[in-house]
Amino acid sequence: MKLLFERSRKGRQCCILPPCDVETAAFDESLLRKAPLHLPEISEVDLGRHYTELAKQTHGVNDGFYPLGSCTMKYNPRIDEEAAALPGFTGIHPLQEPESVQGAMEVLYETEQLLKEITGMDAMTFQPAAGAHGEYTGLLLIRSYHLHNGNKERNKIIVPDSAHGTNPASASMAGFEVISVKSDENGGVDLDALRAAVGPDTAGLMLTNPNTVGLFDPNILKITEIVHQAGGLCYYDGANLNAVMGHVRPGDLGFDCVHLNLHKTFAAPHGGGGPGSGPVGCKEFLTQFMPAPLVKKEEDHFEFFVPENSMGRVKSFYGNFLVVVKALTYIRTLGKEGIPEASAGAVLNANYLMKKLSGVYDMAFDTLCMHEFVMTLQRQAHEKGVTAMDVAKRLLDFGIHPPTMYFPLIVHEALMVEPTETESPETLDEAAGIFLKIMEEADTDPESLHQAPHSCPIGRPDEVTAARKPVLRYQF
Amino acid sequence: MSVIPAELKYSKTHEWVKEEDGLFVIGLTDYAQSELGDIVFINLPEEGDEVSVGEAFSDVESVKAVSDVYSPVSGVVAEINEELQDNPALVNEDPYGAWLIKVRDVTEQEELLDAAGYEKVVAEEEA
Amino acid sequence: MGSYIPSTGEERQEMLKTIGLSSMDQLYDVVPEEVRLHSLDIPEGMSEMEVSRHMEELAGKNHVFRSVFRGAGAYRHYIPAIVKSVTGKEEFLTAYTPYQAEISQGVLQSIFEYQTQMCELTGMDVSNASVYDGASAAAEAVLMCQERKRSRVIISGTANPQVIETVKTYCGSRNVPVTVIPAREYSTDPGELKNALTEDTAAVYIQSPNYYGVIEDMESLIPVIHESGAKAVMGVNPISLGLLKTPGELGADIAVGEGQPLGMPVAFGGPYLGFMTCRQAMMRRLPGRIVGETTDKEGRRCFVLTLQAREQHIRREKASSNICSNEALCAMTASVYLAAMGPQGLYRAAESCAAHARYLAAELGKLGFHILSGERPFFHEFLTDCPVDSGKLLAALAKQDILGGLPVDGGILWCCTECNSKADIDRLVSIVKEVCGK
């Protein structure tokens, strides 16, 4: 496929702007750009076709089943997009006087009320732009709290070894030392290891529950108690909230703060890697440290305010506002019954698909799962030389986006499958059939698996050369 | 089977060491490079940096992993293998030729293994 | 109640049977009973028509001004129609991060194109695939410059205050000291910069055009920074680069900025786009996703996420940044925008911004508004004093559907883009005239 720059022809252009209707500015020559500017010179029709062609080489949620574990690739409702495209939302400047943006402030306020109820928290900020950004913000709440109380020595964050990479990275960015604790044989937090890890230097614990192997930790109340007793706080990574929303709330499990991924749980699209939105909620005693500004309701209007001991800002303005609009549209659509129904549906679909695959595929943990499950290809890798990567790549030939590969790190040859609630039983049946067929191929024609995919625009890329001799831009 | 030359000394963390003209030359063993797979980049220290026993002085990147390289000695970096900046694959191709750093003014060294001792370490890890 | 679950009640019963359960409730048996939630206290769900009305009502409570003379970090530019049609394509909209290169070439290639365009625009060698916004880009950039013996960060006080606040937050949590140098006449003072530079300074962040619209004298400032051994991080407005010298030409080590002007609506502050470009030597310190060109087994050109060993999913607590999701669709927006505008179009936009700002400044000057940065060159924003009560003035403008400049430091920070036509400016000026009693 040609690059934009290879389609460029000197002198072509789209006709966008009128000629300037006032005298042009006379800048001193020394201020002006001398470097050539190689932007594409391209007609509108060629530009349009370029992206249509690129779109055809992109697998979106509407292109087929997308069971990418930990990413909650559910259907993105069109009405959410339509709401976010309303000129009353897209056309307002973030620094307009509050009286002219009451609707936008109400969006933030209303979404905050809904998410407070869903998480069991007392306040919510929408400033963080993504999950990792939310983690960082939540950890800064914990840091601010300990510093405020004069407990400078509480500088360690405990993270299970099954955690997403963002957890330790966020903790380290927030100035903490990371203590990794091992998981028990069921994939949960090892209580003895946790007890051994906590102490007077514990700032807190970061936990995903259900965890990254798709299991709800049955010891969860014990876990948060151990951390609290040691003087630490508990941080809930909302990556997997889609399993439990409406059934159990992080706030009731002993968590003090939480981040959510509106682009996972609340159906906002991922945009090929963003924009997301990672709002952070916390209990009352932490609200004083929240990023500024927050929105409050005074009688019949909305106002911004700065929390008393605010950590400051983590981003410009109020976060990825339009993503919040999408999430609000979604939550209001589902409502009090639809929210728990969605998560139960996700859990049902995951268990159904797991059941269909077990026997042929080895489950890392063979028990009722939450919204996702982890399979291990270790046996097949050993016996047949067929790896998780091979299975994943072969799935591409059938129009299925592969599950998350090689994560969590505590499971070898892992494939992490998250079907989400928006798939029908026949889609799951069909997918199961394909997964099983691939395992048959592992016996009959393993070479074909090693060479997969066969029907994509490209075969497996040479990632080693890409990293050894990086070519990161087009050379003119 | 990985190659373990008899004339070198080894650390448990898979570095090899040899003394040469008063300098300690440090590299990665054959076993280490084969475990790492295709090495795509090596972060090396700068000349004049201090290294100490048991502390990481470098990290080695493959496409999907990164591993620390630990120093078996304490001293000052006398020389780094500049060639590796452009061609990290040398470590895969010739692990005992493609040294990483040379260390001078060595004040301390950990208890190093001989080839037989290191072979046992490798055998244990492979098991 | 709305729902996006396809399966019917009967189908769900069947599925439950398959997994050996009889009720949906049993799916949550593992949750301790004392914390099971049996009713969520939020409103009942709505049909699509109802929710559409609700959202329209909320949107209707906002006022979208017909003409906008306010910038200060968010700029209303004309957005070509093709930008929205491309980024609305559902494949781009709904895909995840392109981990599986074989079915993600569209997204990967578009990021590669974006990286190329940002390098071209800023005159730098390498670009990442975006970060959250201009403020977090500035914060990530100064943290990229951390060295063993150099950690201090200096920020010019002429930078956007929200950027300064964000940098302070990011640095504060890593115990990186931050010095904000005071502005002199709304620009960065070389003397103050020299005084602030220390042996342990890692990076200096200067924004140009700065918060007050002034084009900083980077040609004098950057050598001062480099003499001290620190890195120069330059914040830029991407539209201005159609006309003005690039960070590359000026000798900056890293260029960052808010990419919102490149085809994104002001949208109450987001989603926006943080762009980051740097010199080759700093390539491996760049945070975030980066796309590289390679070939597949048959030698076909293709694109992949690369240099991943920098990132959190591999380096975990040792990663220099925790960023995972970025603003990919916004990066694509910028890329389509730049392609649609082309070199001439971008030049025309930049020229038009600057020309309109000058025209407005001259007209306001006639009414007794003085530019507080004096004779210093400015791009498309400028700060004036206000001979009348600024609140009264802005209210009078608002009444005529004009969002006036932003009250800053007792004056008003005005902004013009290509969207503010001469007729719009004349209308604004006539209202100002009235308020001033002239």
The predicted model gives A136-152 an average pLDDT of 98
Same domain (yes/no): A105, A242: yes
Are residues A352 and A321 both part of a single domain?
no
Task: Give me the amino acid identity at A161.
Answer: D
Q: Do A467 and B64 touch (CB under 8 A)?
A: no
Is the residue at C225 inside a domain? Answer: yes
Residue A225: Cβ within 10 Å count: 13
Residue C356 has a CB neighbour count (10 Å cut-off) of 26
Minimal Cβ distance to A275: which of C291, C330, C339 = C330
Where along chain B do its domains lie? 9-109
Pairing of strands A294-298, A301-305: antiparallel
Mind telling me how many Å the CA of B88 is from chain C's nearest CA? 14
Please give the radius of gyration of chain B, using alpha carbons only, rounded to the nearest integer: 13
> Residue C148: which pLDDT band, with cuts at 50, 70 and 90?
confident
Residue B60's pLDDT band (boundaries 50, 70, 90)?
Answer: very high
Mark whether C164 and C271 lie in a shared domain: yes
Whether B1 shows a pLDDT value over 80: the answer reads no
Q: How confident is the model at residue C172 (pLDDT cuts 50, 70, 90)?
A: very high
Domain boundary residue, one of C303, C335, C367: C335
On whether both A317 and A359 belong to a single domain, the answer is no
Rounded distance between C-alpha atoms, residue A416 and residue A412, angstroms = 11
Residue A78, both tokens: 């069109």
- In a domain, residue A41? The reply is no
Task: Categorize the per-residue pLDDT at A227 as very low, low, confident or very high, splitting at 50, 70 and 90.
Answer: very high
Predicted confidence (pLDDT) at residue C405 exceeds the cutoff of 90: yes
Domain finish residue from C275, C308, C335:
C335
User: How far does A127 lie from chain B, in Å, by closest CA?
Assistant: 31
* CATH code of A177's domain: 3.40.640.10
Q: CB within 8 A of A152, min separation 6: which ones?
A: A146
Fold of B9-109: OB fold (Dihydrolipoamide Acetyltransferase, E2P) (2.40.50)
CB contact under 8 A, C296 and A42: no
The tens digit of pLDDT for each residue in A282-334 reads 999 999 999 999 999 999 999 999 999 999 999 999 999 999 999 999 999 99
CB C394 within 8 A of CB C329: no
> Residue C216: pLDDT above 80?
yes
A420: CATH: 3.90.1150.10
Which residues touch A198 (CB under 8 Å, ≥6 apart)?
Answer: A158, A226, A227, A229, A230, A232
Q: Which of A294, A313, A334 is the last residue of a domain?
A: A334
Query: Shortest CB distance from A59 goes to which of C95, C129, C290?
Result: C95
Cβ-contact C87, C283 below 8 angstroms? no
- Chain B, window 50-79: residues with a beta carbon less than 8 angstroms from a chain A beta carbon: 61, 63-64
Q: What are phi and psi of A3, to 5 degrees?
A: -85, 160
DSSP 8-state secondary structure symbol assigned to residue A187? S
CA–CA separation, A445 and C330 (whole Å): 43
Q: In the predicted model, what is the mean pLDDT of residues C164-186?
A: 96
In the predicted model, what is the mean pLDDT of chain A? 96
**HEC profile of A287-311:** HHHCCCCEEEEECCEEEEECCCCCC
Residue A132, domain member (yes or no):
yes
Residue C155 lies in a domain: yes
Confidence of residue A187 (pLDDT cuts 50, 70, 90): confident
Measured CA to CA, the distance from residue A276 to residue A261 in angstroms comes to 7
Strands B66-70 and B56-62: antiparallel
**Can you give the residue range of the structural domain that contains A423?**
343-451
The residue of chain A nearest to residue B85, with distances taken between CA atoms, is A468
* A246 at C interface, C-beta within 8 A: yes
Are A238 and A348 found together in one domain?
no
Residue located via tokens 């040398």: B90
Taking CB atoms and an 8 Å cutoff, what residues of chain A touch C296? 458-462
Q: For A52-59, what is the mean pLDDT?
A: 97
Consecutive H or E run containing C221: helix C218-227
Peptide linkage before A210 cis (omega within 30 of 0):
yes
**Alpha carbon distances (Å) from A200 to A221, A395, A449, A470:** 21, 49, 52, 46
The answer, yes or no, to whether residue C316 has pLDDT greater than 90, is no
Give the SS3 label for residue B68: strand
Query: What is the reported pLDDT for C419?
Result: 97
User: Is C24 in the same domain as C121?
Assistant: no
Which of A413, A463, A464 is most worth mutating to test chain B (most B CB atoms within 10 A of its CB)? A464
Pick from B42, B50, B57, B63 the residue to mutate for testing the C interface (most C CBs within 10 Å): B63
pLDDT range class, residue C204, cuts 50, 70, 90 = very high
Cβ pair C270, A104 in contact under 8 A: no
Containing structural domain, residue C155: 81-335
Asked whether residue C213 falls in the same domain as residue C135, the answer is: yes
Please give the tally of structural domains in chain C. 3
Same-domain check for residues A365 and A249:
no
DSSP-derived 3-state class of residue A383:
helix
User: B63 in contact with C at a CB cutoff of 8 Å?
Assistant: yes
Find the length of chain A: 476
User: Is B88 in contact with A406 (Cβ distance < 8 A)?
Assistant: no
pLDDT at A101 over 90: yes
User: Does A413 lie in the same domain as A278?
Assistant: no
Q: Which residue has the tokens 């400033």?
A: A127
C1 within a domain of the structure (yes/no) = no
CA distance A296 to A304: 6
**pLDDT given at position B91:** 96
Please give the torsion angle defined by the CA atoms of residues A436, A264, A227 and A118, in that order, rounded to the nearest 10 degrees.
Answer: -120
**C48: Cβ contacts below 8 Å, ≥ 6 apart:** A79, A333, C2
Domain boundary among A334, A355, A378: A334
Do C378 and C274 lie in a common domain? no
Which positions 182-211 of C are in contact with A (Cβ < 8 Å)?
Answer: none
Residue C437 pLDDT > 90:
no
Residues A263 and A374 reside in one and the same domain? no
Neighbouring-strand partners of residue A101:
C62
Residue C292 in 3-state DSSP? Answer: strand
Q: Rounded distance, CA C141 to CA C428, Å?
A: 39
Mean pLDDT over residues A355-363, rounded?
96
| Token pair listed for C5 | 């679950």
Token pair of B18 as six digits: 């040899």
User: Residues A328, A375: one domain?
Assistant: no
What is the pLDDT at residue A358? Answer: 95
pLDDT at residue C386, as a whole number? 96
If asked whether residues C217 and C295 sit together in one domain, one would say: yes
Q: Of C335, C357, C388, which residue is a domain's last? A: C335
**Neighboring chain A residues of C4 at a CB cutoff of 8 Å:** 74-75, 77, 267, 342, 421-422
Residues in chain B with CB shorter than 8 Å from the CB of A392 are none
**Residue C3 located in a structural domain:** no
Q: Provide the domain count of chain A.
A: 2
Q: Residues 65-104, chain B: which have Cβ within 8 Å of C? A: 65-66
- For residue B63, the model assigns a pLDDT of 86
Are A270 and C95 in contact (CB < 8 Å)? yes
| Residue C311 DSSP class | S
Chain C's closest residue to A65, CA to CA, is C95
pLDDT band at C318 (very low <50, low <70, confident <90, very high): confident
Residue B127 has pLDDT above 80, yes or no: no
- Residues of A with CB below 8 A from B89's CB? 468
- Please answer yes or no on whether B88 and A468 come within 8 Å at the CB atom: yes
Q: What's the mean pLDDT in A72-83?
A: 97
Q: What is the mean pLDDT of residues A34-54?
A: 97
Based on the fold, state whether residues A85 and A132 are members of the same structural domain.
yes
Residue C229 and residue C339 in contact, taking contact as beta carbons nearer than 8 Å: no
In a domain, A14, yes or no: no
Q: Can you give the pTM of this predicted structure?
A: 0.97
Task: Write out pLDDT tens, residues C225-253.
Answer: 999 999 999 999 999 999 999 999 999 99
In a domain, A5, yes or no: no
Mapping DSSP onto H, E and C, the string for A318-365 reads CCCHHHHHHHHHHHHHHHHHHHHHHHHHHHHHHHHHHHHHECCEEECC
The percent of residues above 90 in pLDDT, for chain A, comes to 96
Nearest Cα residue to C219 out of C263, C188, C243:
C188
- For C7-22, write each residue's pLDDT tens digit: 999 999 999 999 999 9
Residue A469 lies in a domain: no
Give residues with Cβ within 8 angstroms of A149, minimum separation 6: none
Domain CATH number, residue C353: 3.90.1150.10
B65 confidence band (pLDDT: 50, 70, 90): confident
Residue A115, pLDDT above cutoff 90: yes
If pLDDT is split at 50, 70 and 90, which confidence band does C156 have? very high
The reply to whether C347 and C237 lie within a common domain is no
Same domain, residue pair C365 and C313: no
Complex-level ipTM beyond the 0.95 threshold: yes
Domain shared by A228 and A369, yes or no: no
Same domain, A128 and A111: yes
In a domain, A259, yes or no: yes
A319 φ/ψ sector (left φ>0, alpha ψ -120 to 50, else beta)? left
What's chain C's length in residues?
A: 438
Cα(C113)–Cα(C110) distance, integer angstroms: 5
Please give the residue of chain C at the shortest CA–CA distance from B43: C284
Q: What pLDDT, in 10s, does the model give residues A320-339?
A: 999 999 999 999 999 999 99
d(CA C44, CA A423): 23
Our separate counts of H helices and E strands in chain B read 4, 9
pLDDT of residue A12: 94
pLDDT in tens, C286-314: 999 999 999 999 999 999 999 998 888 88
- Residue C2 has a pLDDT of 83
Tens-place pLDDT, residues C70-125:
999 999 999 999 999 999 999 999 999 999 999 999 999 999 999 999 999 999 99
In a domain, C4, yes or no: no
Share of chain A above pLDDT 70, in %: 100
Q: Cα(C134)–Cα(C236) distance, rounded to whole angstroms? A: 9
Are residues A205 and A330 located together in one domain of the fold?
yes
Q: For A402-461, what is each residue's pLDDT tens digit?
A: 999 998 888 999 999 999 999 999 999 999 999 999 999 999 999 999 999 999 999 999
